[in-house]
Amino acid sequence: MQLTDEQRAFRADLRGYLQENVEPVVDELDRNGPMDRDTLMGFVTDLREFGIGFDPDIAPNFFGDVWKFMLTAEEISYVWPSLNVGLMMSFPSVFVRFAAPQTREAMVPKLETGECLASLAVTEPSGGSDTARPRTTATKDGDEFVINGQKIWVGNAHYADVVLVVAHDESTDAQDMFLVDRENASFETEELDKLGWKGVSNAKITFDSVRVPEGNRLSNIFSNAIMEGHEMHEIVPFPESVTQLFFEQKPLNATFSFMRTGMSFMAVGIMQAAMDEAVAYATDRETFEKPIAQHQLVQDKLYQMKAGLETSRGLARRAAELLESGDPDARLMSSLAKGYTAETSKQVTDDAIQVFGAEGLKPENRLERYYRDARVMTIPDGTTEIQKLIVGSELTGMSAYH
């Protein structure tokens, strides 16, 4: 895959912004994380200037260009994965334009100015990876749904304007998703501490008889928007080839295919940062009267790191190619890429620390942050074990979940 001149120019501009505005403050922000809303919004506002965002003017070109989305994930994660997570978690905000009237009235003005932050609430305290059978329920009551349950590890939850909640729709006895806007409904959040991704807020959400209009059920959002004459790619601003996956798969599975491909590019960004640090240190640090890069075992570490990085980059790009074309294997390859690159990022960052030796253990050196952030990669959006089961199921047509 060769980048176009336009894509290379976009990457260069984004790199310049990140090096000038994020690089100097990232260590302090991560150490004192998570970011508050104002800090995150400052970056979100800046990034809109590069065509990165979720408002109606920007989203079609951002999501509509798979490579722009993936390059953004890789480049931001090279500097600070937490910022990428905080940014990308806001994608459910695109649905407010087609939600119930009260949600549109409350949230569309924020969306149009790029100030509508969002969350995706999937994981539950007692369910973990079992996303197909949520214990959070949505009970039909007149022209509303009443949501009860808990979600955990929800990014941006503390300050999100809207949350897209996966719940069991008792009226259809099926899984669906429901858009909850904070202007018209209230819910409790509890901040969670974690090993890595320190800069992004993750919280537990409790929904206690939270009422949402029936127009905020995602299946209704889709059907109502289509009845109003909107095309699917207007509702979900991906390329038409990608939006087709929403017809062929469950919406959550199609969403995960996109997110997991993005996660694989995140892992590549982290690995590249660790690789660059390790090479620079190996050529500068001296032991036994020569740079440690001249020691065979150090070169072996660098070889292993480079091999892991480049195979991961190739796999991530292959997943993006299949996603861009709407290939039926997009789900398989996104899970394969996410699982492999996340696990490989653990090893690459571990090897980078080993190249640094004791210096790699110091918090003022970034290796320990790269390692912590890489370690988190194997769990969100489906653990590595879940990715293996998805790949196995896609290859054989047989499920090993039970």
Q: What is the mean pLDDT of residues 325-335?
A: 91
Domain boundaries, the chain: 5-93, 96-108+115-216, 251-396
**What does the mean pLDDT of the chain come to?**
92
Identify the residue whose tokens are 């253990």.
361
pLDDT of 287 strictly over 80: no
pLDDT at 245: 72
pLDDT tens-digit map of 173-220: 999 999 999 999 999 999 999 999 999 999 999 999 999 999 999 999
Find the distance separating the first CA and the last CA of the chain, reported in whole Å.
Answer: 39
Report residue 2: phi and psi, to 5°. -110, 130
Q: How many CB atoms lie within 10 A of CB 289?
A: 6
pLDDT at 320: 94
Compare 185 and 246 and report the one with higher pLDDT.
185
pTM over the 0.85 mark: yes
Class of domain 96-108+115-216: mainly beta
pLDDT bucket at 402, cuts 50 / 70 / 90: low
pLDDT of 268 strictly over 80: yes
pLDDT bucket at 128, cuts 50 / 70 / 90: low
Q: What is the mean pLDDT of residues 323-348?
A: 94
pLDDT bucket at 131, cuts 50 / 70 / 90: low
d(CA 45, CA 114): 7
pLDDT at 73: 97
pLDDT at 187: 93
pLDDT at 240: 76
Which CATH code of 1.20.140.10, 1.20.1260.10, 1.10.3720.10, 1.20.1250.20 fits the domain covering 251-396? 1.20.140.10
- DSSP readout, 265-330? HHHHHHHHHHHHHHHHHHHH-EETTEEGGGSHHHHHHHHHHHHHHHHHHHHHHHHHHHHHHT-TTH
Q: What percent of the chain has pLDDT over 90?
A: 78
d(CA 347, CA 375): 9
Work out the angle at residue 167's Cα, subtended by the Cα atoms of residues 161 and 173, and round it to the nearest 5 degrees.
Answer: 150
Residues 155 and 201: beta-carbon distance below 8 Å: yes
Burial 236-267 (b: 16+ CB within 10 A, else e): bbbbebbbbbbeebbbbbbbbbbbbbbbbbbb
Which CATH code of 3.40.50.10330, 3.40.50.2300, 1.10.540.10, 3.40.50.10190 fits the domain covering 5-93? 1.10.540.10
pLDDT at 289: 76
